[in-house]
Amino acid sequence: MKDETQSLANKPDLVDMFSRTISYLRLSLTDRCNLRCMYCMPLDSKGGLQVLKHEDLLSYEELLRIVGLVVPMGMNKIRLTGGEPLVRKGVMGFIAALSQIDGLDEIRLTTNGVLLKEKAAGLYAAGIRKLNISLDTLRPERFKKITGLDLFDQVWQGIEAAVEFGFDVKLNVVAMRDINDDELIDFAGLAVDKPYQIRFIEFMPVGRDSSWDKNTYISSSELKERIGAMGTLEPLPGCRLDGPARMYSLTAADGATGRVGFISPISHHFCDTCNRLRLTSAGRLRACLLHDREADLKALLRSGGTDDEIRALIKQTILDKPKGHTLAENQAACSGQMSRIGG
């Protein structure tokens, strides 16, 4: 027992029990959103939205303190998520302050694109160069059905503005049978016609009130087969910057090429190479998106926790990171709310 304890004490700060180096922190800035997507923001029993009070969110000062501690430990990439991170008041100033932290190599942002047109210039000036934009349909009437609001044109203008500013743009598409799977070829076509990457994501059962069911789920194998009908799919060499996506070159019948990715948390999970922690909008550290174990970092911060105590909690969360999720065996393994965890 003494030898095992000594081994853990000597383990590098950001290496977990399965020799994965954790270099990537995802910050959910808020659980609020300006859309009401069917799989992300469920209503409560009274038909209202389940959102946190402002005082229950970590302040920007608290977030900057955390990032200032994890970066010297070796966590050099941050992704800002939500909810919709751009709806939080003061977010542009926070991003500007974040970009001043020495050793932080990259800040990425995941957004639904609603506010992107008006925020693009500020985001670029703050140093952000890579955007993931969630978009599950190219049809305005279907967009309203999926998201609850008629804002497709506004989102599309935001995407075009991002391209004009020179952002590296990825479109994230949650594939859902009988909801948007008749648009798979249309989305894949964008990859060869436009200067951005399309990534197809398997629909995940996240949250107690998730709209997920086995009839809506489509595996990545089926997605690849259906998209392959429009041309040739060739796997690309793996790159750690691609994250969980398995990337392919898509060559259309006319010879045009583009890149598409497939994120397969259920059928071909990427747990063996997972390099991230998540800090939820409720201030809890989560080592796995699809596993409910969390550490209450907010409580430690607000009870006067020292820098050493905060670093120790982060390190312990990394050591507690599970080898993988158990969705294949237990579809109720994740009861957390996606808009709080951060997609």
Q: What is the pLDDT of residues 153-173, one digit of tens each?
A: 999 999 999 999 999 999 999
**Residue 328, SS3 per DSSP:** coil
Query: What pLDDT score does 44 carry?
Result: 57
113-133 pLDDT, tens digit each? 999 999 999 999 999 999 999
Angle, to 10 degrees, between the axis of helix 152-165 and the axis of helix 140-147?
100
CB distance 88 to 39 below 8 Å: no
Query: What pLDDT score does 332 carry?
Result: 47
* Local mean pLDDT, 10-residue blocks, the chain (343 residues): 40 83 95 87 60 95 98 96 96 96 96 98 95 98 95 98 97 96 97 96 71 83 95 84 83 95 84 90 92 93 98 95 68 61 74
CA distance 295 to 131: 28
Query: What pLDDT score does 246 carry?
Result: 93
Residue 273's nearest CA partner among 265, 281, 262 is 265
- What pTM was estimated for this model as a whole? 0.89
DSSP notation for 110-167 = EE-STTHHHHHHHHHHTT--EEEEE---S-HHHHHHHHSS--HHHHHHHHHHHHHHT-
Query: What pLDDT score does 7 carry?
Result: 41
Query: What pLDDT score does 239 carry?
Result: 62
- Residue 241: both structure tokens together: 């910057």
Query: What pLDDT score does 39 carry?
Result: 76
Give me the residues paired with residue 172 across strands: 134, 199
Domain architecture of the chain: domains with CATH: 2-341 (3.20.20.70)
- Residue 171: both structure tokens together: 């479109």
CA distance 39 to 169: 23
Query: What pLDDT score does 119 carry?
Result: 97
Which amino acid is located at 69 in the chain?
Answer: L
Query: What pLDDT score does 238 carry?
Result: 72
Query: What pLDDT score does 107 carry?
Result: 97
- Residue 51: both structure tokens together: 């959102």
Which residue do the tokens 């959910």 mark? Answer: 28
